[in-house]
A and B are shown apart, each in its own frame.
Chain A
């Protein structure tokens, strides 16, 4: 406890209560309540350190009302690392009050890799009992409302893949003259839900003569777990992933999921205690790249087909602020012939998903998303691209509610299609 307090105080003394966070906080914009701003939460934590308030369940509810989108942290003129402070406070609150049973069961399951894998595979078989297909087949709706698990009857969920990505592709994906040999960390969403986007990342790397390995024994990156304050489980996951990724000397570790990338690269620093593991992690951290970052840094093939399509791009929080990646996906996309990138207003503003936030605070999450969807629709684009599966899920839900015809795709899928189409054209011409 004392260690927390010391850590917190370093951040707390910096806050001068200027209120700049009010200007950027998406949750405040919807609720108009000071208590949802970063300033409000920072002051609550300050009162805890001064012994005037306690780490109660009510306090936990206040700290949970945050997307961890990092807009306040990046925009803070005094440099208060609000996201880290709030995660640490959630940890102390979880230590004190525990977390919800549903979260506890799921998070514990995540540390048993084969069990987690089996659960999600069984889930893919039995999901039709719980969900029905959306009429346009773009996803599924819940049959039964289960608010504690974030299941709302009108909310569009993606279907679980029949087979996880790791069983669909070889462990080692070879190329004839490899420029590099990298590990790909697909993460849960690409492994169990959006396997097509995981496959697309692999295809893009192969098209650039990069050998791709999916290491054995990868676990969930743990961001959801850490964000809920369950640092014990998050540490288990971090330690196992660090072990799996340092088992071989890869040239780089590639992610296609904004959250996994930001977690592997930065957030593990918050959860890992053991100095030996930390040392290993620091080496890994330097090698973590979002796939678009890797392409632009190392150079990439321009063998793209002419697409002739108007697209727009949404910056995921964990990519633009978490990994400082925003120019790279745009650069790659704009290098595809015929692509017209129509920028939306506030492209780097959170879509409202925030991982489990969208489950626990669906109404706020949806209201934030509505504004995002307005901005998306105003561009007149045919395709909406983003580099995060969470954003993709939430944006699809938003568009589906409006009956929009717009396609939502992971950036990787779009790029991979442009490579594949060119290859196909070549084959036809021969």
Chain B
């Protein structure tokens, strides 16, 4: 609960139209894109919508003084409950902080506020021939602050890495309202701790990221799309591994298993040859058509050696769109198979991709649940989708056991709980298994140092 007196102070900072406390207004800020139940709602006591870093700082001073929980929120497109205000208090909605502050073409860097949408940042840079590569599937609505706080990845990670790989510096408002600026435009920088990296993936538990400075790269001039069908998932994985070993690094390499393909085929009314068990969609990029042709030739040779059934190169933009549409419609196609889909996000060493999929098959049989597997085979990050009915307690229980087993499988092959979604609330029970007691202890010590009163996004990660 926030007292009327404190609410008055908050309103004085952001204006009353940006400090919402009616039941209906608060309800809209109680959820994210995870499978957590909508009800009972995790309502914030107040939704606060600052416009500037100074306002964020002033709000944190008030919150710290009165020990009010503060949960930062961008687009709430997160998948693990990171922005859900679990303990009430203030939902700090950063939607209004959407200025792109500077595009420094000479240094190839861009500075943006937390509420800037990923797609808007991409387009802003692309207009000057510069490339901001991180492309989470939610890039059309997700915002930069959330991308940094969850260290968002995407399909291009295999070649270009994840959000954290582009962070050069951050502006962070600390729990007590102090404004901290980390990093800078100097490329080499070992002046003290790498503070920026502490906040990357910290899920709003260490500070409120208000601005980010990213490095950019030149925009690739040409892009091409290839679709390869295989009679076994192992053949697809083998192709991707062999490509990378031969130094043909695709901009994206996505794999889909039989269950996923059947779901898309049903949705898009396509016919699939009965012997197809896996599909790989590859994006390549380069300087010119000759560069793409040479990469295509090398990929084709590798794919054929690995037993590809078919090899299709998109000739037009429209054909390329069509090939990608299979991957893009995957989530909705698979979702249509059951009332609920728990889309998990595990990450394993690339070599273990086929092994973890084999283990997931066994988990699917054991719990009598369909589990579709698709994901970023190029970087070992996969999204097993457990299909279930969460309103049916028996199905829900089996689903949760299946998820437990999937995490065990990932850890058993040397992988981890999350590639790009974070831990939030939904993966909390597994954190000790993944990082160990010592990992949790050090994390908690860090948290204590940054946020002694424990007001920043309480109840998350561990």
Q: Which A residues form the contact surface with B (CB < 8 A)? A: 13, 16-20, 22-23, 32-35, 37, 40, 43-44, 46-47, 50, 52-53, 58-59, 62, 77-79
Q: Scoring B residues 90 to 111 as 1 if CB is less than 8 Å from chain A, else 0, what string do you get? A: 0001011010000000000000
**Chain A to chain B contacts (Cβ below 8 Å), 14 pairs:** A17-B33, A18-B33, A19-B138, A20-B138, A23-B119, A32-B98, A34-B95, A35-B25, A35-B27, A47-B39, A58-B22, A77-B331, A78-B332, A79-B336
Question: Is B341's CB within 8 Å of the partner chain A?
Answer: yes
User: Which of B39, B76, B339 is in CB contact (< 8 Å) with A19?
Assistant: B76
The 8 closest A-B pairs by CB, nearest first: A23-B140, A32-B95, A35-B28, A34-B28, A40-B28, A22-B141, A23-B141, A77-B332
Interchain CB contact under 8 A, A47 and B332: no
Question: Is B24's CB within 8 Å of the partner chain A?
Answer: yes
User: Which of A16, A23, A34, A44 is in CB contact (< 8 Å) with B117?
Assistant: A23
Interchain CB contact under 8 A, A35 and B24: yes
Interchain CB contact under 8 A, B76 and A46: no
Shortest beta-carbon distance from B74 to chain A in Å: 10
Interchain CB contact under 8 A, A19 and B77: yes
Shortest beta-carbon distance from B49 to chain A in Å: 7
Which of A13, A17, A53 has its CB near the most chain B CB atoms (within 10 A)?
A17
Complex: how many Å from CA A53 to CA B76?
22
Which of B27, B119, B336 has its CB near the most chain A CB atoms (within 10 A)?
B27
Task: Output the nearest chain B residue to A40 by Cβ-Cβ distance.
Answer: B28
Question: Is B412's CB within 8 Å of the partner chain A?
Answer: no
User: Which of A18, A50, A58, A62 is in CB contact (< 8 Å) with B39?
Assistant: A50
Question: Is B381's CB within 8 Å of the partner chain A?
Answer: no
Task: Output the nearest chain B residue to A59 by Cβ-Cβ distance.
Answer: B24
Residues of A within 8 A of B25 (CB): 35
Known: A19-B33, A32-B95, A53-B24. 13 other contacts (CB 8 A): A16-B33, A16-B341, A17-B38, A19-B77, A20-B138, A22-B77, A32-B96, A33-B28, A43-B28, A52-B40, A52-B41, A53-B23, A79-B332
Shortest beta-carbon distance from A9 to chain B in Å: 11
Complex: how many Å from CA A40 to CA B30?
10
Shortest beta-carbon distance from B328 to chain A in Å: 8
Complex: how many Å from CA A34 to CA B47?
11
Interchain CB contact under 8 A, A17 and B31: yes
Interchain CB contact under 8 A, B141 and A53: no
Q: Scoring B residues 335 to 374 as 1 if CB is less than 8 Å from chain A, else 0, what string do you get? A: 1100101000000000000000000000000000000000
Interchain CB contact under 8 A, B22 and A19: no
Question: Is B13's CB within 8 Å of the partner chain A?
Answer: no
Complex: how many Å from CA A22 to CA B34?
16
Interchain CB contact under 8 A, B335 and A16: yes
Task: Output the nearest chain A residue to B115 by Cβ-Cβ distance.
Answer: A32
Complex: how many Å from CA A2 to CA B188?
65
Complex: how many Å from CA A58 to CA B20?
14
Q: Which B residues form the contact surface with A (CB < 8 A)? A: 22-25, 27-29, 31-34, 38-41, 49, 75-77, 93, 95-96, 98, 115, 117, 119, 138, 140-141, 329, 331-332, 335-336, 339, 341
Residues of B within 8 A of A32 (CB): 49, 95-96, 98, 115
Interchain CB contact under 8 A, B24 and A34: no
Complex: how many Å from CA A50 to CA B140?
31
Residues of B within 8 A of A33 (CB): 28, 49, 95
Instruction: How many A-B residue pairs have C-beta atoms within 8 angstroms? Tell me.
Output: 80
Which of B34, B95, B119, B336 has its CB near the most chain A CB atoms (within 10 A)?
B95
Interchain CB contact under 8 A, A47 and B41: yes
Interchain CB contact under 8 A, B28 and A20: no
Interchain CB contact under 8 A, B141 and A19: yes
Shortest beta-carbon distance from B433 to chain A in Å: 27
Shortest beta-carbon distance from A63 to chain B in Å: 10
Dominant secondary structure of chain B at its interface with chain A: loop
Shortest beta-carbon distance from A61 to chain B in Å: 9
Task: Output the nearest chain A residue to B120 by Cβ-Cβ distance.
Answer: A23
Shortest beta-carbon distance from A273 to chain B in Å: 29
Residues of A within 8 A of B40 (CB): 52
User: Which of B27, B32, B39 is in CB contact (< 8 Å) with A17?
Assistant: B32
Residues of A within 8 A of B138 (CB): 18-20
Complex: how many Å from CA A33 to CA B32?
14
Task: Output the nearest chain A residue to B35 by Cβ-Cβ distance.
Answer: A16
Complex: how many Å from CA A79 to CA B332?
8
Shortest beta-carbon distance from B124 to chain A in Å: 14
Task: Output the nearest chain B residue to A18 by Cβ-Cβ distance.
Answer: B33
Interchain CB contact under 8 A, B76 and A34: yes
Residues of A within 8 A of B93 (CB): 34
Shortest beta-carbon distance from A92 to chain B in Å: 16
Task: Output the nearest chain B residue to A17 by Cβ-Cβ distance.
Answer: B33
Given known contacts A23-B140, A34-B76, A47-B39, A58 and B332 CB-to-CB distance under 8 angstroms: no
Residues of B within 8 A of A46 (CB): 38-39
Residues of A within 8 A of B31 (CB): 17, 43
Task: Output the nearest chain B residue to A12 by Cβ-Cβ distance.
Answer: B38
Shortest beta-carbon distance from A180 to chain B in Å: 34
Interchain CB contact under 8 A, A43 and B27: yes
Shortest beta-carbon distance from B26 to chain A in Å: 9
Residues of B within 8 A of A78 (CB): 332, 335
Complex: how many Å from CA A17 to CA B35?
9
Complex: how many Å from CA A32 to CA B27?
16
Shortest beta-carbon distance from A256 to chain B in Å: 32
Task: Output the nearest chain B residue to A77 by Cβ-Cβ distance.
Answer: B332
Residues of B within 8 A of A50 (CB): 38-39
Residues of A within 8 A of B32 (CB): 17
Residues of A within 8 A of B119 (CB): 23
User: Which of A37, A44, A79 is in CB contact (< 8 Å) with B27?
Assistant: A44
Complex: how many Å from CA A44 to CA B30?
11
Task: Output the nearest chain B residue to A20 by Cβ-Cβ distance.
Answer: B141
Given known contacts A23-B117, A23-B140, A47 and B27 CB-to-CB distance under 8 angstroms: yes
Complex: how many Å from CA A181 to CA B115?
56
Complex: how many Å from CA A43 to CA B42?
13
Complex: how many Å from CA A40 to CA B25?
9
Task: Output the nearest chain B residue to A52 by Cβ-Cβ distance.
Answer: B39
Shortest beta-carbon distance from B264 to chain A in Å: 13
Residues of B within 8 A of A44 (CB): 24, 27-28
Complex: how many Å from CA A53 to CA B26?
12
Complex: how many Å from CA A52 to CA B75?
24
Residues of A within 8 A of B115 (CB): 32
Residues of B within 8 A of A22 (CB): 75, 77, 141
Task: Output the nearest chain A residue to B331 by Cβ-Cβ distance.
Answer: A77
Residues of A within 8 A of B117 (CB): 23
Interchain CB contact under 8 A, A62 and B24: yes
Interchain CB contact under 8 A, B95 and A43: no
Shortest beta-carbon distance from B208 to chain A in Å: 17
Interchain CB contact under 8 A, B341 and A18: no
Given known contacts A19-B138, A34-B29, A13 and B24 CB-to-CB distance under 8 angstroms: no
Complex: how many Å from CA A58 to CA B24?
8
Shortest beta-carbon distance from A57 to chain B in Å: 11
Complex: how many Å from CA A34 to CA B32?
11
Task: Output the nearest chain A residue to B96 by Cβ-Cβ distance.
Answer: A32
Interchain CB contact under 8 A, B329 and A77: yes
Interchain CB contact under 8 A, A20 and B24: no
Shortest beta-carbon distance from B421 to chain A in Å: 13
Complex: how many Å from CA A46 to CA B31?
13
